[in-house]
Chain A
Amino acid sequence: AQSVTQPDIHITVSEGASLELRCNYSYGATPYLFWYVQSPGQGLQLLLKYFSGDTLVQGIKGFEAEFKRSQSSFNLRKPSVHWSDAAEYFCAVGGSSGGTSYGKLTFGQGTILTVHP
């Protein structure tokens, strides 16, 4: 069974500081990995995705994530956080085996990011 763990429920950083959100996954085959962001009362917006190839993935809003197979991790990073980055961030794993796996993502519990001025 696939699973995602986001160890940090809540992270607080100062504006301009660097950010790293942790994500560990469990999946029996080659995973598809995603980071989504959710503002209060809103749906999920895709930040970036990893399917294959280069393990360092660039996304929108200056975010990047690195896939480390040996550590089963897909941590999200940003060199300088802006106040508008305050939101909840979700890591998700999906299937690469096709068929019903395409739409079935398993999400972590989320990490709430607070940004201090």
Chain B
Amino acid sequence: ETGVTQSPTHLIKTRGQQVTLRCSSQSGHNTVSWYQQALGQGPQFIFQYYREEENGRGNFPPRFSGLQFPNYSSELNVNALELDDSALYLCASSAGQGNSPLHFGNGTRLTVT
């Protein structure tokens, strides 16, 4: 089975720009969650998508937005980038049930200069 894949692996942007990160979920998974992992920290929940709708959000401002497509792949968009947005962005998919653990991709390393 194909695992969770994310693209690109690395990205450098300038403050104020916009960025789109992409995620393909694991086969059979209909739920995608996005996490931000700053250097030296644990991942923090950004939001979750289930059947193309946002289904839970963490403490992140509206300039963090997302999409989920009919094939369950997903995008994370960040507008008006700030230096503090520099982090590893992790996508995780699951079967959307309480006893279905998250399966993570290898992440996208975003650097904002």
Contact status of A110 and B92, CB under 8 A, knowing A43-B106, A102-B97: no
- One of A13-21, A45-53, A76-84 contacting the partner: A45-53
Interface of A, secondary structure class, is mixed
Contact with B along A88-117 (1 / 0, CB 8 A): 001010011011111111111110000000
Q: Residue A34 at the B interface, CB < 8 A?
A: yes
Q: Residue B61 at the A interface, CB < 8 A?
A: no
Question: A84 CB to closest chain B CB, in angstroms?
Answer: 18
Query: Chain B interface: which size bin?
Result: 20 to 34
| Distance A4 CA – B41 CA, assembled complex (angstroms) | 12
Contact status of A104 and B45, CB under 8 A, knowing A44-B90, A51-B99, A98-B98: yes
Residues of chain B whose beta carbon lies under 8 Å from any beta carbon of chain A: 4, 31-33, 40-45, 48, 50, 55-56, 58, 90, 92, 94, 96-107, 109
